[in-house]
């Protein structure tokens, strides 16, 4: 999860300027929402008896976990390995390619007759969506003056919460009405929407778009020019100098430790919440979908509200610590609750609390890493965090199998949350 990072004053936008850049960021939001429909479908499918029987996964918690882990491993690798395609092809072609690739992965998933084929489909989906993510940032970098990027990023980043919130009940309804195989084909068809929007309504740069008038173009390019001049004034630094500026800073590794735990709790709960609610708590199929969406609706409010609050307070690490403390408390007491609705509500609040740490983490990265190396530092934090968190879903499955119940997996997440809390607390004591 890596937004474009920039630090610059705002550029005045003339009253008569067109607003095509905001149409673009709306398209990025739609693309991310559709991507989340595709990536979290297995979270619902592992609670579907027909799917589990077809894949030979009935009673196999570790095998269920691999469905999300396979996606995440490929997704993390693609973020690093395939993102240079955007520099070569341009974001429009690269993102169109990514959507086409994930559409093919969905068709393969719908036709899968074995777990091996389904895992291959999950890997292909991870490769496609891993290419899509960096292009979101590249579009914003090309289309928005630095002073507007925070606003632009907040629009599509909130899709991290809206996406799962919409995807859980939507996919629950689709699987219940159509079955698991047609649901894959429907998702592939829905993917034609962002593909059409990206291909026909966006361009790599605003100067290439017919809907951008002279006032908007001049304002955007003035901001980009000023940014380029500021970067040039900082002078060039070699790779090792940039790396050493943060890699030898223990605060950076504390932040990376927090972020790894944050991402592990995020992906772990997203992968297993529907299955837990249905199998361990006995919720009906429709109730499971509604309860599964609740934490992400609340989490979206947390991202926006606490992102604003951290700026007002002027400190971020306490909010990172609060996110892990809230996650641990909600998941632990939710797992221990005897009443099913109370359990679902507490776990939902715990998952929503995780979102408090999202804006805090990226702002801390900008604060700890020197300006000349913030891109490399953010990439390192994001890469390590996603690499480690990729194995959270399958490890949860392992602890479910070993302990004989879902509590083992949930307590594993609590342990990760405590590690993240410790890392953030040290940073908070240093008044970051």
DSSP sequence for 341-389:
HHHHHHHHHHHHHHTTHHHHHHHHHHHHS-GGGHHHHHHHHHHHHHHHH
Residue 211 banded pLDDT, cuts 50, 70, 90: very high
- pLDDT for position 156: 82
CA distance 279 to 427: 39
Q: Is 159 exposed, middle or buried (0-12, 13-18, 19+ CB in 10 A)?
A: buried
Percent pLDDT > 70 in the chain is 93
Place of tokens 């940039």: 242
For 124-170, how does the pLDDT look when each residue is reduced to its tens digit (9 = 90+)? Answer: 999 999 889 888 888 988 998 887 886 787 788 778 788 888 888 99
Residue 26 banded pLDDT, cuts 50, 70, 90: very high
- pLDDT for position 376: 67
Residue 194 pLDDT greater than 50, yes or no: yes
Residues contacting residue 357 through CB under 8 Å, at least 6 positions apart: 258, 262, 319, 320, 322, 323, 324, 420, 424
The DSSP-derived string for 235-275 is ----HHHHHHHHHT-HHHHHHHHHHHHHHHHHHHHHHHHHH
CA distance 427 to 432: 6
Chain-centroid distance, C-alpha 320: 17
Residue 95 pLDDT greater than 60, yes or no: yes
Residue 307 banded pLDDT, cuts 50, 70, 90: confident
* 255-283: average pLDDT: 93
* 289-315: average pLDDT: 85
For 37-79, how does the pLDDT look when each residue is reduced to its tens digit (9 = 90+)? Answer: 898 899 999 999 999 999 999 999 999 999 999 999 998 888 7
- pLDDT for position 372: 63
- pLDDT for position 117: 98
* Cα distances (angstroms) measured from residue 370 to each of 237, 249, 256, 271, 365: 12, 11, 16, 35, 9
- pLDDT for position 360: 86
C-beta separation of 368 from 246 below 8 A: yes
Window from 214-218, 275-279, 292-296, 361-365 with minimum mean pLDDT = 361-365
- pLDDT for position 4: 38
- pLDDT for position 85: 81
Tokens for 362, please give them.
Answer: 């990226």
Terminus-to-terminus CA distance in the chain, angstroms?
A: 21
CA-nearest of 363, 237, 258, 242 to 309 is 363
Residue 336 pLDDT greater than 80, yes or no: yes
Residue 5 banded pLDDT, cuts 50, 70, 90: very low
CA distance 24 to 151: 13
- pLDDT for position 371: 63
Residue 374 banded pLDDT, cuts 50, 70, 90: low
Residue 227 pLDDT greater than 90, yes or no: no
For 271-296, how does the pLDDT look when each residue is reduced to its tens digit (9 = 90+)? Answer: 999 999 999 999 998 899 889 999 98
DSSP 8-state secondary structure symbol assigned to residue 339: S
Residue 175 pLDDT greater than 50, yes or no: yes
Percent pLDDT > 90 in the chain is 61
* 205-231: average pLDDT: 90
pTM exceeds cut of 0.75: yes
C-beta separation of 328 from 422 below 8 A: no
C-beta separation of 302 from 353 below 8 A: yes
């Amino acid at each position: 999860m890596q937004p474009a990072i920039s630090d610059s004053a705002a550029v005045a936008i003339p009253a008569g300027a067109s607003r095509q850049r905001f149409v673009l960021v709306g398209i990025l939001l739609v693309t991310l929402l559709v991507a989340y429909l595709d990536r979290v479908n297995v979270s619902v499918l592992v609670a579907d008896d027909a799917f589990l029987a077809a894949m030979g996964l009935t009673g196999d918690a570790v095998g269920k976990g691999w469905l999300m882990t396979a996606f995440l491993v490929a997704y993390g690798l693609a973020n690093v390995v395939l993102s240079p395609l955007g520099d070569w092809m341009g974001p429009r072609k690269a993102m169109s390619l990514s959507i086409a690739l994930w559409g093919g992965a969905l068709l393969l998933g719908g036709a899968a007759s074995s777990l091996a084929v389904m895992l291959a489909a999950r890997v292909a989906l991870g490769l496609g969506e891993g290419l899509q993510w960096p292009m979101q940032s590249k579009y914003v970098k090309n289309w928005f003056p630095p002073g507007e990027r925070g606003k632009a990023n907040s629009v599509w980043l909130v899709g991290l919460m809206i996406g799962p919130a919409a995807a859980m009940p939507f996919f629950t309804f689709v699987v219940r009405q159509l079955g698991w195989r047609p649901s894959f084909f429907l998702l592939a068809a829905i993917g034609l929407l962002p593909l059409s929007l990206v291909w026909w309504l966006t361009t790599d740069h605003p100067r290439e778009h017919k809907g951008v008038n002279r006032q908007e173009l001049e304002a955007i390019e003035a901001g980009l020019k000023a940014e380029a001049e500021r970067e040039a004034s900082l002078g060039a630094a070699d790779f090792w100098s940039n790396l050493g500026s943060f890699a030898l800073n223990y605060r950076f590794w504390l932040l990376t430790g927090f972020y790894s735990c944050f991402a592990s709790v995020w992906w772990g709960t997203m992968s297993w919440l529907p299955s837990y609610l249905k199998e361990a708590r006995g919720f009906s199929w429709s109730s499971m979908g509604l309860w599964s969406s609740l934490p992400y609706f609340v989490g979206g409010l947390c991202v926006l509200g606490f992102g604003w609050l951290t700026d007002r307070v002027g400190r971020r690490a306490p909010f990172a610590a609060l996110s892990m403390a809230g996650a641990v408390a909600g998941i632990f007491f939710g797992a221990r609750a005897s009443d099913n609705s109370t359990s679902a509500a507490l776990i939902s609040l715990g998952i929503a609390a995780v979102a408090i740490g999202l804006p805090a983490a990226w702002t801390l990265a900008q604060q700890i890493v020197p300006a000349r190396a913030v891109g490399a530092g953010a990439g390192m934090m994001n890469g390590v965090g996603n690499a480690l968190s990729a194995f959270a879903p399958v490890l949860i499955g392992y602890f479910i199998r070993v302990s004989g119940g879902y509590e083992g997996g949930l307590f594993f997440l609590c342990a990760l949350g405590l590690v993240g809390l410790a890392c953030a607390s040290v940073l908070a004591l240093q008044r970051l």
